[in-house]
Amino acid sequence: MRTYNIQLLKCNGKDQKISAYLQILTGLDKVTANRIVSNRPAVLFDNLDEEGMEYFKEAFDFYEVEYEITPLEEACEVCGYPSRQVIVLGRIVEYYGQRNGFLQLAKKYDFETKEDLSLAPFLVTDGMSEEKAAKLQQELTNIGIRSQVIRSGSPVTERKRKNFLQRLFFAEA
């Protein structure tokens, strides 16, 4: 599978949302994610697989941030991921029954609710089958909420996360 380099250029006022998204996908702590987002332009990943790159592309397009994706020559193998997780990116429409609909879905799919849907992005649930995750995503879309289904576990391996953090901290020294 082909690999990619992702560079964050401008957040256009969405710094906190991009920081929260990085935290969900990489497992970074809030301080580190905030530092990365505030030090733009920043190369977020080298050699990110195609599926992981698509997650970032979808979210960055939704948040209308400026980024650059460069295909690399290096290829990688991606192991199978048996389950999926669902991330709420944000509201796409406002209507009266939105919060109520979200609470009903929480009961149906057995996940915790956020008090305020404007605090997106946030992880709704993890460990779902691909079919169940797709169904939940469609139901969220039906009540005006944009969500993303991604593979369980972050789109970066532990080795890539360590390399990412080493580059970040050695670059600052």
Whether the predicted pLDDT of 171 surpasses 50: no
pTM of the model: 0.78
pLDDT in tens, 27-42: 888 998 999 898 888 8
Query: What is the pLDDT at residue 139?
Result: 92
143 contacts: CB under 8 Å, gap ≥ 6:
95, 97, 98, 101, 102, 105
C-alpha separations of 43 from 14, 85, 93, 139 in Å: 17, 25, 32, 34
pLDDT band at 78 (very low <50, low <70, confident <90, very high): low
Question: What's the token pair of residue 117?
Answer: 């849907």
Residue 7: pLDDT over 70? yes
Q: Which residues pair with 150 in a beta bridge?
A: 85
Q: Which residues contact 16 (CB under 8 A, 6 or more apart)?
A: none
**Confidence (pLDDT) at 113:** 79
pLDDT of residue 169: 45
What does the pLDDT read at residue 79?
58
**H or E element that contains 57:** helix 50-63
